Structure 1
Amino acid sequence: MAERASAAALIGSACFSTYFNQASSPGAYSPIIIFLSTSQPTETTKNGRHQEEDAGYEDREGQCSGPSRCRRGESAPDHRKMERVEEELRDTQKKMMQTENDLDKAQEDLAAANVKLEEKEKALQEAEAEVASLNRRTTLIDEELERAEERLKIATEKMEEASANCDESERVRKVMENRSFQDEERANQIEQELKESQNLAEELTENTTRLPERAEAGENKIVELEEELRVVGNNLKSLEVSEEKALHERMPMKSRSALCLPDSRRLRLALEDELVHEKERYKNISEELDQTFQELSGY
């Protein structure tokens, strides 16, 4: 309402300045008085605004319609001028009403625009807050991405190190497999040698158990051969003695001894050869027995 009053005052002052110079007679002050009395706005509804003002103007116009009333100290030109001024004032009043309506509409539009502006400002603030939140989230995501890249780098280095260790382990495994295979072959070879050694030990043990018997048999055989050799030697000596005696006795007997002497020598040589053979055999048996004892002591 204050804005409407100020607008009406501005329009009234404009109208006052416009028609002040035209009012040369004393009766010309009546339109100004009418304007000042009707320029104050009244409280009305939106659709029936200023109905009371229009009714007042119509009443005053009706009052001035009679010739007797309008001629109270006024001339006809002044009356027409006053009517023209009143008509212009009515037009001005209508324009004021239209201006007030436009002002109300502008105020409503302004209020709606303010509401929209507040909503937009609120939405802008919310959008700015959302942008700030997104920026913070982006910063956090960037930091998390950097940490993830650092962890990925560390994991990659560890994986490369583990791969190198795996390759080294694989190489060591192959070396150990080769060594294990070689050790297995060596173990099989040693086992085979052990079996052969056990068999040899068994044979040597068996031979060792039989060597004393063989040695004893050889000794007995040597004793028998020596005894036979001694007997043969004695027989040879006896034959030689008998031969010498026979030579002195008669000649035929000499030729006969000559025939028997080669046989006796051959027998003696055969006995000597057999004795040497038995001695060699005894020596071989003794050496074999000693070697067997040495091998057994080595195991």
Structure 2
Amino acid sequence: MSTGIRSTTLKSVTTAALMGLFLTGPVLAKEIEVQFLIPGGEGGGWDTTARTVGGALEETNHATVKGYENLTGAGGGRALLSLVNDPEKHSNTLMVQSTPLVIRALTGVYQNNWQDITPVATMISAYQAVAVPATSSFEDMSSFVAALKENPKDVVVAGGSGRLSLDHLTLGLIAQASGIQLEKLRYSSADGGKEALDRMLDGKVKAVVSGVGELLPAAADGRIRILGVTSAEPLTGLDVPTMKSQGLDVVFSNWRGFFTAPGASEEQVATYRKMLVSMSETGTWTEARGKHKWEPLVLVGDELTAFLAKQEKDLGEILNKLQ
């Protein structure tokens, strides 16, 4: 069953109105100063994305980065609340966000949603994956799914986020595509991808669901085996089959992008869009994306609004089935 949650991968933005922004040439660093607001701690997906984007902006002379604020708490809700309630403090701020912004609003973890802040641009699509210890008897998704069907209570799967969040949702999509009753799943929530991975390597769970990038170091060290990824096509430089190629109709990605404070002027939002889209066309950014196995997902304006609205609808439907 198709999830309906398919991210459009764009090498560039082709919207005519946006292309007109480039007629004046690249934005100079001295013209823009930006502060990044990060809803999680250092080293996580949000943090890595913000700092990688910030570094690329400075290296390509698109902006001067004034700093990175890691404002943790409430699963990212503290930073969101700060942006909503104190827009003047964050007047030159870009907050990094991702799919959990939609999920946590739908499940009531956040009291605000994406419509309460100002969307600027999505930048990347980070795919999910299922991994097992290198010594596991599971060689592919077929053997993993077969065991999950036979005795789901025995196949405990860990994820680096809470119940009804990104990793749990990914497991639910795999189960749904396999004809497994969602209520029979045993999901073990951990505080971050590292804890979930450690839990698996300690033998406490049979598998882990996580972002591809978070699994790469352990895979490179030979400690784990990645069974499948949720991309539509194989990821460049990664010798791992997709879920689709193994008979599971699951194509799902965790988009990451940037928002600014509510009430931001059209001029400021347009400037940020131009800055981010222009930077995304550089070789510096292409190299940075490749390092993290991120796919391009550059959406702005009406395209971005429509994308977020569809995510809200599609994710709401699967979350209702998981509850």
Pairwise TM-score range, normalised by the shorter structure: under 0.3
Query: Which is richer in strand?
Result: 2
TM-score by length of 2: 0.14
- Structure number having the greater helix percentage: 1
Larger Rg: 1
Higher relative contact order (CA 8 A, sep 6+): 2
Which TM-score applies when normalising by structure 1?
A: 0.15
